[in-house]
Amino acid sequence: MTMWKCEVCGLIYEGPEPPEKCPKCGAPREKFRKLSDEEEKLVNRSRFSNYLHMEAYTLLQELLEVAEKGIQDNLDPGCYKIFVEEKEFALMTMQKIKAELETHMKKQKWG
């Protein structure tokens, strides 16, 4: 399927022709640019990894909530230490994922 990119907001539209207007920002059809084969390949190739990063991010948010409950509960120093480490791991990994996805967007590995 041909990919068209809205040059105003970045939305990728897939279809034989660009839409009448952008479903996201309302820009007219003329604002859509056809992606080159190379650009299309890059978007397609990176979709699965981007999806996995977002799935992992959701899981880390859950880990963060669990860790914060454990810190609150504070049963004993051993438990507390583990929950603090879990919280730090979750927060740092979430930041790494965000930085990586930003890199993907800048390198057109997004859409």
Check: CB of residue 22 under 8 Å from CB of residue 6.
Answer: yes
Closer by beta carbon to Zn ion, 29 or else 98: 29
Quick one: CA torsion of 106, 108, 102, 24, rounded to 10 degrees? 110
Q: Does 28 bind Zn ion (CB under 5 A)?
A: no
Q: Does 3 bind Zn ion (CB under 5 A)?
A: no
Q: Does 27 bind Zn ion (CB under 5 A)?
A: yes
Closer by beta carbon to Zn ion, 8 or else 105: 8
Binder of Zn ion out of 3, 4, 13, 22 (CB under 5 A): 22
Compute the least distance from the CB of residue 6 to Zn ion, in Å. Answer: 3
What DSSP string runs through 80-99?
A: HHHHHHHHHHHHHHHHHHHH
Cα gap 79→69, rounded to integer Å: 11
Binder of Zn ion out of 2, 15, 25, 102 (CB under 5 A): 25
Which residue is listed with tokens 């897939």?
Answer: 14
Which residue is listed with tokens 């890199």?
Answer: 103
Which stretches of the chain bind Zn ion, using CB under 5 A? 6, 8-9, 11, 22, 24-25, 27
